Structure 1
């Protein structure tokens, strides 16, 4: 019986990283395609995996909480039948069918959310269908479609963005804000 290395043991060095640090002259045996990549001075910069690239920062001005909890549902992922709580930021690049109580929701152009959400800030580039309560600010971009029972504090809709269904301004929140400004003034 042969001994195998432990499953959680050290990984062998990545051959891709070690190849990227070799001089251009040593890549001639790799073929014409890779030789064209290494013309000029050799690159000693490490290769960054695509998965490590962060998505663009939200544009709506929603406050970003450093070190907060963040859930990203990647492209082609389907998350169904869950309750999402204690999540500072939800980024939807796939499909989510859930109930959510959180702070910030960002739905990308290819993302879709179906269910109910009670949040502070929402940025919709993709599709939302269901019950949506946005306590602070709802931003619907030109590619965004929001339908269902919608409650909001403030709303911004870019040209081309769609908002359909039972849509109401949250009068209770506005009354508290107006009362606070009258008392302060």
Structure 2
């Protein structure tokens, strides 16, 4: 078991070299024959132990992947998510089945995906099936394999050949009446 002093980069008391790193005795072991599980952190300037230059700095840890869409929820194939509300989600990707109420920035329904319920979003990409109340404030895209059924409100709409739209449809939502003539001209 490692002693707590080694976890914080301190030297063992029996170390003979004043500025020797923890694993200076044998590669893979620390003084006293212990296996080295923790390596000392590089100094902020990238210099070696004791401030000596010439030692290569340790590679930087990879930065966390930043996605453009912020928070993303993926409901994978063969997964069924039912009930409740989906909140604080920027992008919902549906590859399985979702039965819920949601408000998000974007929804992407894959070919095998199905969403039932109510959704109020900015942009919708439908390759699978949407059944319920859909408000796409900015844009609704129905691909050739997509099917949207129910009450649908949208700012702009794109339907590929083969895509289906059935039910009560209306251009614009109640709060977006000013852009109706522009949306009609774009369709």
TM-score by length of 2: 0.58
1:141 aligned residue: 143
- 2 CA distance for matches of 1:171 and 1:66? 26
CA distance in 2, matches of 1:173, 1:80: 29
Q: How does 1:2-17 map to 2 (within 5 A)?
A: none
Supply the distance in 1 between the matched residues of 2:174 and 2:180 (Cα, whole angstroms): 10
CA deviation vs aligned residue, 1:65-114 (integer Å, no higher than 9, x gap): 62610000000000000200110000000000000000000000000000
Instruction: Give 1:170 shift.
Output: 1.2
2:100 equivalent in structure 1: 98
Q: Structure 1 CA distance, aligned partners of 2:87 and 2:176?
A: 25
SS in structure 2 at match of 1:110? coil
Contact 1:98–1:115 (CA under 8 A) maintained in structure 2: yes
Q: 1:68-147 to 2 correspondence within 5 Å?
A: 68-147=70-149
Which one is further off, 162-171 or 132-141? 162-171
Structure 1: gaps spanning 5 or more residues: 1-63, 180-185
TM score, norm. by length of structure 1? 0.59
Q: Is residue 150 of structure 1 aligned with residue 152 of structure 2?
A: yes
What is the CA deviation profile of residues 42-66 of structure 1, one whole-angstrom value per residue up to 9, with x for unaligned ones? xxxxxxxxxxxxxxxxxxxxxx962
Runs of 4+ aligned structure 1 residues displaced above 4 Å come to 171-174
Q: Distance in 2 between matches of 1:146 and 1:66?
A: 26
In the aligned structure 2, how far is the partner of 1:76 from the partner of 1:171?
33
Shift in CA distance, 70/171, structure 1 to aligned 2, threshold 3 Å: closer
Q: Is the 8 A contact 2:111 2:127 kept in 1?
A: yes
Structure that is richer in helix per residue: 1
Preserved CA contact (<8 Å) 1:153 1:173: no
In structure 1, the partner of 2:170 is 168
Q: Once the two structures are superposed, what CA deviation does each residue of 1:127-181 show, in whole Å capped at 9, x if it has no partner?
A: 00000000000000000000000000000000000000000111645533479xx
Distance 1:95 1:173, change over 3 A: same
Contact 2:104-2:120 within 8 A present in 1 as well: yes
Q: Is the 8 A contact 2:69 2:91 kept in 1?
A: no
* Aligned partner of residue 73 in structure 2, secondary structure: strand
